[in-house]
């Protein structure tokens, strides 16, 4: 009975995860890793996935990614996946993308390339940005949405966000 | 002494042929004098007011290129998340402003002085408030560490200053029927508008920052998110989304201005365990995110 309730709970938790437009993306494990029942380090492992196991990404949740591994669903550490899709620039690409390709295709793994269709998507082009003239009315409007300190603090309380002290290894000590 | 240092900086900024070939000391002094007369930050530290004024002028240009997203609730929501995180930074008192621009292009930008711009294309692909927190905290870290300002100052050659200050007597401060300034009625200094215009035309925001600055911003973002009560993996989740997203290299997107997401994830994997233990009751806030990001 308890096991049953736990299963239902796990199922409900799974449903609560946010699926998004990129769901069902193909990914590969970048090392041998455990497939966990829940998204938590102390959760039970339902199996072990060997390095380079193909999975489908179902949802992200903090440090865990819910995946489908050959019909078995579970959670994999966010750092234990790699994604085969690289981006090709229509103009032939700069150093950045060659860097990206080599980083993803490291270790002699196959790197797949996808040609990107952008038709119909209104994006911000470099030309748009370079030729922009300042819009003061829009700036004033943007500034009207600012949150003051009490508003931000109330918002944090509503979300049960509790401030904690962290020593930053980089040096600042707040 | 200050003047000697200042002149030396101008000389250092000049091309070699100008220094040793057709050297026109009168012209050099003219450029420098004009900038100094207007109280410009050439050759000295930016004051906080100038930093904010420059950020305002840059933001106005961004909003001229890409409009604000029309959803006022979304704008307020992103401002609340951002301000809460900024309160836990070393510069909590800047006039922090977070603007969602209405474009499919995936990117986020930080202006000197505390103005952060994030695209709706990025916001709608995030899965939780903790992922948004990770993205905003990365930009906040750039502002706190003055990364953009440092890069801007590094790029200030004498050439850069030639057009700056020329509009002092013109009416360029009145743009589109409004006035660019920190608040209604407060007018930004004209040389800051000129500087912002030069930086935008020059494509400053289309170029990457130093790799070290990006890495520092990623690490500080994790620290700021934990301090603010968020999950330590928000930025990692956002980077995982970016790693699998089929971006457009030709657009003014994050893919052409940041190191590869997979490299950033690999760096974070080394860093996060060193600070994760501080998180007490970390929040993801997936439901609140869905309620506010339609």
Residues 76-105 of A with CB under 8 A from B: 78-79, 81-83, 85, 87-91, 93-94, 96-97, 99-100, 103-104
The length of chain B is 294
What per-residue confidence (pLDDT) applies to A6?
Answer: 53
CB B61 within 8 A of CB B93: no
In a domain, residue A27? The reply is: no
Question: Which residue in A58, A60, A105 has the most chain B C-beta atoms within 10 A of its own C-beta, making it the best mutation to test that interface?
Answer: A60
Instruction: Identify whether A173 is part of a domain.
Output: no
Task: Determine whether the interchain pair B244/A143 forms a contact, defined as Cβ–Cβ distance below 8 Å.
Answer: no
Cα A98 from Cα A78, distance rounded (Å): 24
Q: Is residue A105 part of a domain?
A: no
Of the candidates B261, B272, B292, the residue with the CA atom closest to the CA atom of residue B128: B292
Does the CB of A55 have a partner CB in chain B at under 8 Å?
Answer: no
pLDDT tens string A102-144:
233 333 333 333 333 333 345 788 888 898 889 999 999 999 9
**Residue A136 resides in a domain:** yes
Q: How many angstroms separate the CA of residue B180 from the nearest CA in chain A?
A: 5
Which of B184, B205, B233 is opposite residue A62, by nearest beta carbon? B233
Bridge pairing between strands A113-114 and A81-82: unpaired
B109 Cβ under 8 Å from any chain A Cβ: no
The whole domain housing A149 covers: 126-158
Q: How far is B148 from chain A (nearest CA, A)?
A: 17
Closest in A61, A124, A174 to B66, CB measured: A124
Q: Is residue A149 part of a domain?
A: yes
Nearest to A130 among B200, B246, B259 (CB): B200
End-to-end CA distance of chain B: 58
User: Which of B81, B206, B241 is facing A126, going by the closest CB pair?
Assistant: B206
Residue of A nearest to B224 (CA): A166
Give residue-wise pLDDT tens across range A55-103.
999 999 999 999 999 999 999 999 999 987 654 433 322 222 222 332 3
Identify whether A21 is part of a domain: no
User: How many angstroms separate the CA atoms of A34 and B271, rounded?
Assistant: 21
d(CA B105, CA B82): 21
In a domain? residue A52: no
Concatenated DSSP letters for B1-43?
-HHHHHHHHHHHHS-HHHHHSS--HHHHHHHHHHHHHTT--TT
- B112: DSSP letter: T
List per-residue pLDDT tens for chain B, 294 residues long.
444 444 444 444 444 333 333 334 444 444 444 555 555 555 567 899 999 999 999 999 999 999 999 999 999 999 999 999 999 999 999 999 999 999 988 899 999 999 999 999 999 999 999 999 999 999 999 999 999 999 998 887 666 666 665 554 333 443 333 444 444 334 467 888 888 998 999 889 988 899 999 999 999 999 999 999 999 999 999 999 988 775 556 667 777 778 888 899 999 999 999 999 899 889 999 999 999 998
Whole-complex ipTM: 0.80
User: How many Å lie between the alpha carbon of A46 and the closest alpha carbon of chain B?
Assistant: 23
B183 contact residues in A (CB cutoff 8 A): 143
Number of domains in chain A: 1
Handedness of CA B62, B64, B66, B67 (dihedral sign): positive
Residue A89 included in any domain: no
User: Which residue, B268, B242, B263, is CA-closest to A103?
Assistant: B263
Work out the number of other CB atoms within 10 angstroms of the CB of residue B153: 16
- What is the rounded CA–CA span in Å between residue B111 and residue B128? 24
């Amino acid at each position: 009975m308890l096991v049953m309730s736990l299963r239902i709970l796990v199922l409900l938790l799974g449903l609560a995860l946010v699926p998004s437009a990129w769901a069902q993306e193909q990914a590969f494990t970048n090392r041998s890793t455990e497939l966990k029942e829940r998204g938590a380090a102390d959760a039970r492992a339902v199996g072990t996935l060997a390095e380079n196991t193909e999975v489908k990404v179902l949802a992200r949740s903090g440090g865990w990614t819910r995946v489908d591994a050959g019909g078995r669903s579970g959670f994999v550490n966010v750092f234990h996946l790699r994604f085969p899709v690289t981006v090709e620039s229509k103009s032939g690409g700069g150093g950045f993308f060659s860097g990206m390709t080599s980083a993803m295709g490291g270790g002699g793994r196959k790197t797949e390339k996808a040609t990107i269709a952008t038709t119909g998507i209104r994006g911000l082009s470099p030309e748009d940005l370079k030729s922009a003239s300042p819009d003061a009315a829009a700036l004033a409007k943007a500034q009207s949405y600012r949150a003051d300190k009490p508003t931000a603090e109330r918002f944090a309380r509503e979300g049960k966000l509790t401030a904690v002290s962290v020593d930053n290894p980089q040096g600042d000590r707040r | 002494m200050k003047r000697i240092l200042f002149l030396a900086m101008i000389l250092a900024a000049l091309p070699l042929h100008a220094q040793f070939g057709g050297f026109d000391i009168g012209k050099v002094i003219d450029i420098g004098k004009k900038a100094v007369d207007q109280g410009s930050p050439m050759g000295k530290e930016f004051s906080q007011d100038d930093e904010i004024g420059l950020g305002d002028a840059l933001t106005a240009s961004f909003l001229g290129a890409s409009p604000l997203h029309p959803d006022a609730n979304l704008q307020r929501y992103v401002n609340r998340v951002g301000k809460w995180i900024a309160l836990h930074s070393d510069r909590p008192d800047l006039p922090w402003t977070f603007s969602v621009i209405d474009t499919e292009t995936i990117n986020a930008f930080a202006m000197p002085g505390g103005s952060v711009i994030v695209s709706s294309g990025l916001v709608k692909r995030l899965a939780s408030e903790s992922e948004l927190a990770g993205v905003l905290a990365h930009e906040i870290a750039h502002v706190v560490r003055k990364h953009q300002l440092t890069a801007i100052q590094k790029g200030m050659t004498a050439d850069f200053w030639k057009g700056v200050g020329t509009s002092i007597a013109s009416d360029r401060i009145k743009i589109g029927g409004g006035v660019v300034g920190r608040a209604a009625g407060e007018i930004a200094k004209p040389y800051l508008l000129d500087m912002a215009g030069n930086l935008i035309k020059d494509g400053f925001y289309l170029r990457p920052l130093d790799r070290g600055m990006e890495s520092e911003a990623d690490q500080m973002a994790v620290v700021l998110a934990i301090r603010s009560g968020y999950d330590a993996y928000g930025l990692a989740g956002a980077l995982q989304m970016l790693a699998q997203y089929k971006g457009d290299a030709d657009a003014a997107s994050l893919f052409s201005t940041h190191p590869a997401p997979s490299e950033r994830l690999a760096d974070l994997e080394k860093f996060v365990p060193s600070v994760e233990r501080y998180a007490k009751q970390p929040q993801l806030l997936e439901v609140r995110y869905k309620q506010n990001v339609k």
